[in-house]
Amino acid sequence: MNGLTLAGVTAGYRHRPVLRGLTCGPIPSGCVTALVGPNAAGKSTLLRAIAGLVHAQGSIRFGDRELIGMPARERAHHLAFMPQALPQDTGLSVIEALLGAWRAMPDGMLRGSEAALLNRVGEVLDRLRLGHLGMAPLQSLSGGQRQMVALAQAIIRDPPLLLLDEPTSALDLRRQLEVMGLLGELAREGRTVIVVLHDLSLAARWADCLLVMNQGAAHSFGPSETVLTPEMLDEVYGVEARIEPCSRGGRTLLIDGVSERAMPG
Ligand SMILES: Nc1ncnc2c1ncn2[C@@H]1O[C@H](COP(=O)(O)OP(=O)(O)OP(=O)(O)O)[C@@H](O)[C@H]1O
């Protein structure tokens, strides 16, 4: 079982503890888990802690392996992390940026011929409907197109654990649906997919599980139907909302307004 289990995880930055003994899981493989919560709740910090980009204590187990203390080279076999920041303006083409993402990985992962590698790049570009942009310089792309390239960079190595920080924030409506559909497919193929989302309607419609974070801790975790409730939205976000069925199954969120609850600044 390739689920992810977090036990007593603390992490943060110099002089600023963010995660305070966070415990959650197992976050199952084969599912899309949306990581949600207010600004500064610690969502990105949690993904960075799992990815080994900030120092963490406690236990982060993926399957039967402990990730804390695992050398970066070995950890790269297990996971890929897509940060919020979009790929920098460089003269690289989209194809070169994808090859670069692959080549930045530890030597042991550079298996296969150049032709096989280019084949894999083509496969990922097609899966993301980016084939027509392969030769385009990154700097000529729109924000949404660049976000799609960042997603392609994350999935190209096909690791079993995908950590994606707001991968739909710059995308148009159709692209958002396509990306969430793709994440669902990647999960059904056996991967563990954890995706930070601010759009709770998208989370309600597409995520199998929700992990709600608040002030550096796990507020709630479980199937989206049980976790996404008007009570949680009031308590964590300070909004009054209703959750309604949507036309093709799943549920969507209707926000009525801010609630009377006083929220921390
Ligand atoms: N590099 C950093 N150095 C110092 N503090 C940081 C750094 N990155 C984030 N923080 C702080 O850590 C806390 C949690 O930030 P984080 O980015 O994890 O929250 P988040 O839930 O992802 O927020 P958002 O929804 O706004 O993206 C915030 O108080 C933030 O100011």
What residues does each domain of the chain span? 4-258
What pLDDT sits at residue 247? 77
pTM for the model: 0.94
Mean pLDDT of 33-41: 97
Of the two residues 264 and 233, the one the predictor is more confident about is 233
- The residues that bridge with 33 in the sheet, in sequence order, are 194, 209
H runs (alpha helix) in 89-139 = 94-103, 114-127
Listed range (62-66, 106-110, 170-174, 237-241) with the worst mean pLDDT: 106-110
Going by CA atoms, what residue is nearest to atom 6 of ligand 1? 13
Mean pLDDT of 200-209: 92
What pLDDT sits at residue 107? 56
In the reported structure, the alpha carbon of residue 7 is separated from the centroid of ligand 1 by a whole-number distance in angstroms of 21
Alpha carbon of 147 to those of 192, 193, 248: distances in Å? 21, 17, 27
Q: Which residues have any ligand 1 atom within 6 Å of their CB?
A: 13, 16, 18, 37, 39-45
Sheet with 4-13: list strands edge to edge.
16-27, 4-13, 56-62, 65-66
- Please report where in the chains the tokens 């600023």 appear, as a residue: 16
Mean pLDDT of 128-157: 93
> Six-digit token pair at 183?
């994440």
Q: What percent of the chain has pLDDT over 90?
A: 72
Q: For 4-258, which CATH class?
A: alpha beta
In the reported structure, the alpha carbon of residue 51 is separated from the centroid of ligand 1 by a whole-number distance in angstroms of 15
Q: What are the tens digits of pLDDT across the range 214-258?
A: 999 999 999 999 999 999 999 999 999 998 888 777 788 888 889
What pLDDT sits at residue 265? 67
Closest atom, ligand 1, to C-alpha of 216? 14
What's the chain's average pLDDT?
Answer: 91
Q: How far apart are the first and last CA of the chain?
A: 40
Hey, which of 10, 13, 20, 84 would you mutate to test ligand 1's pocket, going by the most ligand atoms within 8 Å of its Cβ? Answer: 13
Going by CA atoms, what residue is nearest to atom 5 of ligand 1? 13
Residue 193 pLDDT more than 90? yes
